[in-house]
Structure 1
Amino acid sequence: MFKLSNWKLLRISFSFYLLPVFLFALAHSPNLDGFRLLIVFLALHLFLYPSSNAYNSFFDKDELSIAGIKHPPKVTPGLLYLSFIFLFTALVLGVWINFAFAGMVLLYALVSMAYSHPAIRLKKYPFIGWITAGFFQGLFTFAMAYAGLNGFGWNVFEKPHVLIPGLLTSLMILGNYPLTQVYQHEEDGRRGDRTMSLYLGYTGTFVFSSIWFLIAGAGFIYYFLGQSQIWAVWAFLAGVAPAILFFYTWFYFVRQNAEKYATYPWAMWMIRLSALGLNVFFAYYFLERTQVLQVI
């Protein structure tokens, strides 16, 4: 269980790429509290997401590259136990906030298990897997983080001021997610997982993602303008510009030779640029929207 290879498959550092949704929820939080912020951050990014990564790796048994690891080590039975230990820790931390937040953490974990477990394996259904990832990594995670950060309960899912920005994060992930699968066609096909990217093909994946990026971008701009935050529009565009430029450059090369360029290194650079730009933007958005620096 405590083998180095198992800890590597937790992919804790990959939580950085999931941080933008947390920061966006933080920016909307009316009841900022340092203790809750720390507990929610640790529960999600240090324990829940790594637990999900390990569980997924245990059943996938990848031999080729996966997000965050170019050469994944062989899976051992201890990885599953380590996944459950991390999940249990996330739940304990969740209870420190309240039982509602712990329940959201558990639901996220159960859906993640359904995504990977061979008895259900939502991953092998292109549209169901794509929608599930978009909803739970976007809107649900936004609402879960918002509830935990503010000590609220399940009623956050009834609030338009939570649902609307949460929906925007889902739109963003619906565009990004197929790109994380584009270099895994060979292994996904061999396992019988008909992922969204495999279903769409190489060119179709990029066209499909570009449409959702356009929808998400328009949605964010409309939202910021509705909040009278013209400064956020320009900051958002600056934050996503490097990733969008890279995306269309990558698409150009994939159209020339998909086998050569629809690869792990290109996909990881896309993920890194997107996450870095969004994390910087949402951190700035949090500071400006809450005026924390002026209070300090």
Structure 2
Amino acid sequence: MAELPIRSTLTHLRLPFSLLLLPVYLFALGEAPNPNTFHALVVFIVLHLFVYPASNGFNSFFDKDEGSIGFLKYPPKVSSHLFYTSIVLEWTAVLLSLLVSIEFAVCVIIYNSFSKAYSHPSVRIKKYPLLSFLIVFLFQGLFIYYSCYRALAPEDTPTTATVWIAGLVCSCLVGASYPLTQIYQYDEDARRGDRTLSMMLGIRGSFVFSGILFLLGSALLYYYWFSCQLPEYFSIYLICLTPAIVYFLYWFYTCTKNPAKASFGRATAMTLISGLFMLVYFSWLLLLH
């Protein structure tokens, strides 16, 4: 019997890339009143070891990328093993989420469904630039924040306006990075017939769009902490994100001089710098709480 392509499958699950979405979970964990420790562990495992890798694997299987994609400069060929692994991970996540609540399990099913619709050729939301952006904006930010908050807080905790504001902060920060992850993939996306948001905006427009969303997310975060009477928390946010802001402006400037600088390497560096310093900030918040 031929050996299953386990290494290729593990590579396409892109576990390190999934962990860059950890700040949304950390934010919800830090803001949920009296979070349940067991639920916190289960939610972390479900999202970061099952849901996100399943989504990455499912997406990779149907994209069959030949060029560079998130964190993979030379992606290996995919096989049916990747598809079945993503399905197993997806439904294992649903079963584990029942340890938290039925509501959380339903949220996981909804997220998984839209994630599959994003890539599956029968729907392929990914080929519609605005719709694909809205799906990522809502589901990787606000929806995940809400799902985590409801799963971690006691059942009788009301969902106040601050929960939605915090969720929108997450959506803006996730959405700000979205076109920059597509900025070097124009040829690859065009080959599949996809028209991404970055293709629609162009290189310069992608940076402008990203900058506007980042400013909007930062303004909402300022309002959030101001309403909580903790404006100093926003000051720490600005300090933590300064390296990402500096690199963003530097990369934008170099791309205006030479569009070839909108490359896989620089996009990966941008993702790593912003993601790691977001992790630092939201980890600091969690430790405070």
**Short-chain TM bin:** over 0.9
**Identity across the alignment (%):** 42
**What secondary structure sits across from 2:99 in the alignment?**
helix
Measured after TM superposition, the shift of residue 230 of structure 1 is 2.1
1:81-100 equivalences in 2 (<5 Å): 81-100=84-103
**What CA distance in whole angstroms lies between the structure 1 residues aligned with 2:160 and 2:30?**
16
Matched, 1:264 2:234: no
Aligned to 1:284: 284
**What CA distance in whole angstroms lies between the structure 1 residues aligned with 2:124 and 2:144?**
21
* Partner amino acid, structure 2, of 1:174: G
**What secondary structure sits across from 1:97 in the alignment?**
coil
- For the Cα contact (< 8 Å) 1:114–1:122, is it kept in 2? yes
Aligned to 2:29: 26
Aligned to 1:251: 252
**What CA distance in whole angstroms lies between the structure 1 residues aligned with 2:199 and 2:155?**
39
Aligned residues: 286
- For the Cα contact (< 8 Å) 1:98–1:151, is it kept in 2? no
1:1-296 equivalences in 2 (<5 Å): 3-150=6-153, 152=155, 159-259=160-260, 261-288=261-288, 290=289
Measured after TM superposition, the shift of residue 150 of structure 1 is 2.6
Deviations 1:208-263 (A, max 9, x none): 1111111111111122122111220111001111111000100011111112x111
**What secondary structure sits across from 2:215 in the alignment?**
helix
Deviations 1:61-81 (A, max 9, x none): 001111121110001011110
Name the CA shift for 1:225/1:113 in 2 (closer, same or farther; >3 Å): same
- For the Cα contact (< 8 Å) 1:171–1:212, is it kept in 2? yes
* Partner amino acid, structure 2, of 1:265: G
Moved more, 112-121 or 8-17: 8-17
**What CA distance in whole angstroms lies between the structure 2 residues aligned with 1:224 and 1:242?**
22
**What CA distance in whole angstroms lies between the structure 1 residues aligned with 2:8 and 2:166?**
38
* Partner amino acid, structure 2, of 1:256: K
- For the Cα contact (< 8 Å) 2:33–2:154, is it kept in 1? no
**What CA distance in whole angstroms lies between the structure 2 residues aligned with 1:226 and 1:150?**
20
Measured after TM superposition, the shift of residue 32 of structure 1 is 1.9
Give the structure-1-normalised TM-score.
0.93
Deviations 1:144-179 (A, max 9, x none): 1112223649x97x5323211001111112211111
- For the Cα contact (< 8 Å) 1:15–1:45, is it kept in 2? yes
**What CA distance in whole angstroms lies between the structure 1 residues aligned with 2:235 and 2:44?**
28
Deviations 1:37-88 (A, max 9, x none): 1110000000000000000000000011111211100010111100011112
- For the Cα contact (< 8 Å) 1:172–1:213, is it kept in 2? yes
**What secondary structure sits across from 1:96 in the alignment?**
coil
Name the CA shift for 1:152/1:266 in 2 (closer, same or farther; >3 Å): farther
Measured after TM superposition, the shift of residue 283 of structure 1 is 1.1
Unaligned runs of 5+ in 2: none
- For the Cα contact (< 8 Å) 1:140–1:166, is it kept in 2? yes
* Partner amino acid, structure 1, of 2:270: M
**What CA distance in whole angstroms lies between the structure 1 residues aligned with 2:255 and 2:271?**
16
Measured after TM superposition, the shift of residue 98 of structure 1 is 1.2
C-alpha root-mean-square deviation of aligned residues, in Å?
1.5
